[in-house]
């Protein structure tokens, strides 16, 4: 039986940038934040990253056994040293995402982690939302709502996560519950680091454009960016979500450019997509709080600032850890799963009504009790 009140939850995240696993402890009751605990990070090796990359787009668990072993082993390695944890949140590795079509596929089995770590593990966070007609993403907005309350926001605030894909959460802190109509609007903005990382790996054999140094030396191609903004995704109504490779044609469009100009163009495309997203939010905000790896890319941050009429700052400016927000989010959501609270709502994923979900795996030396979350047979 999990304890009542505030719990010590360990969350993890392995994003579409394929850089590694973030792990962070959060003290929470699934509604409020009481404090932040230890953090850690475990990078994927080049060989592991190649395995993950080679399995992107695959839908069936029996086709991704090698990938699952990499994902689970990396998570166990980074999670095992944490002590006094009541519950863990395991997102897995997204390999394919097609809401309204084939569903969503996160590689990795939470039961394997529960057995290895000897703690309850909440997992399979997205399936129930997709089964219920939602996009299954983004799932961090309910945590962003709690963060807005934690910083004492009194006016609308927006969080921008720049991972492999970008996503934005607009929060109105006047509401008491993130599931209330009007409290949140959230959606994927477009590609973020993924195309840049892929080009850097293919052309220069490095994982990413460190500090945006290469982009800073190049010139963005305005025609390519204008064509990029005609992609049908930008005309779709909110909320909406993306697969990592939904904009794969963007990489093809810069194939004829020099390395510097290609990366500069991809970086400016991120800024253009963020500006388009901000314009779709219900009301202006005085600050855009940026988390994820992209906030460390100086060229990307300059480009976004130049495209907006609002302050663009890393979340560290308000006392948060921008590397760990998504890991903390899945710690927060793990507690909500354990307590049957909703994880998404019409304003965040487009689902018809607030949806709970996820599953809780308990170590097999104790009775296995799982929630009623549905798992797609992918």
DSSP per-residue letters across 65-83: HHHHHHHHHHHHHHHTT--
Question: Which superfamily is assigned to 7-136+356-361 in CATH?
Answer: ATPase, nucleotide binding domain (3.30.420.40)
- Each residue's pLDDT, cut to its tens digit, for the chain (378 residues) gives 577 899 999 999 998 778 899 999 999 999 999 999 999 999 999 999 999 988 888 878 778 899 999 999 999 999 999 999 999 999 999 888 777 677 788 899 999 999 999 999 999 999 999 999 998 888 999 999 999 999 999 999 999 999 889 999 999 999 999 999 999 999 999 999 999 999 999 999 998 999 999 999 999 999 999 999 999 999 999 888 887 778 889 999 999 999 999 999 999 999 999 999 999 999 999 889 999 899 999 999 999 999 998 999 999 999 999 999 999 999 999 999 999 999 999 999 999 999 999 999 999 964 434 333 333 322
pTM of the predicted structure, to 2 decimals: 0.88
CATH 3.50.50.60 fits 152-318, yes or no: no
CA–CA gap between residue 344 and residue 347 (Å, rounded): 8
- CA 4, CA 19: separation in Å to the nearest integer? 35
pLDDT of 338: 96
Is residue 27 classed as helix, strand or coil in its secondary structure? Answer: strand
20, 42 contact by CB (below 8 A): yes
Domain residue spans of the chain = 7-136+356-361, 152-318
Q: How many CB atoms lie within 10 A of CB 154?
A: 9
Euclidean distance between CA atoms 305 and 301, whole angstroms: 6
């Amino acid at each position: 039986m999990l304890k009542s009140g505030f719990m010590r939850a360990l969350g993890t995240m392995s994003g579409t940038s394929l850089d590694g696993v973030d792990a962070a402890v959060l003290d929470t009751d699934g509604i409020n934040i009481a404090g932040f605990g230890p953090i850690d990070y475990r990078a994927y090796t080049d060989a592991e990253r190649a395995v993950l990359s080679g399995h992107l787009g695959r839908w069936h668990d029996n086709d991704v056994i090698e990938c699952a072993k990499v994902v689970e082993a990396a998570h166990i390695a980074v999670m095992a040293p944490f002590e006094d944890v009541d519950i863990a949140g395991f997102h897995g590795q997204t390999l394919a995402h097609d809401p309204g079509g084939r569903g969503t596929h996160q590689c990795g089995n939470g039961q394997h982690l529960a057995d290895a770590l000897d703690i309850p593990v909440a997992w399979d966070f997205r399936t129930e939302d997709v089964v219920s007609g939602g996009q299954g993403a983004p799932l961090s907005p309910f945590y962003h709502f709690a963060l807005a309350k934690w910083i004492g926001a009194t006016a609308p605030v927006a969080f921008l996560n720049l991972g492999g894909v970008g996503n934005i959460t607009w929060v109105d802190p006047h509401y008491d519950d993130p599931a209330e109509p009007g409290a949140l609007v959230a959606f994927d903005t477009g590609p973020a680091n993924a195309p840049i990382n892929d080009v850097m790996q293919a052309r220069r054999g490095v994982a990413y454009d460190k500090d945006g140094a290469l982009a800073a030396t190049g010139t963005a191609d305005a025609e390519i960016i204008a064509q990029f903004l005609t992609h049908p995704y930008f005309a779709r109504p909110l909320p909406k979500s993306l697969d990592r490779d939904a904009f794969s044609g963007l990489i093809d469009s810069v194939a004829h450019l020099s390395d510097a100009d290609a990366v500069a163009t991809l970086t400016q495309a991120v800024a253009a997509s963020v500006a388009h997203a901000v314009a779709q939010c219900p009301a202006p905000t005085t600050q855009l709080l940026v988390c994820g790896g992209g906030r460390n890319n100086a060229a990307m941050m300059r480009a976004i600032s130049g495209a907006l009429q609002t302050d663009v700052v890393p979340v560290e400016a308000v006392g948060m850890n921008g590397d760990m927000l998504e890991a903390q989010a899945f710690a927060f959501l793990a507690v909500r799963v354990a307590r049957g609270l909703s994880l998404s709502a019409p304003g965040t994923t487009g689902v018809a009504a607030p949806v709970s979900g996820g599953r809780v795996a308990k170590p097999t030396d104790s009775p296995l009790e799982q929630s009623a979350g549905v798992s797609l047979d992918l």
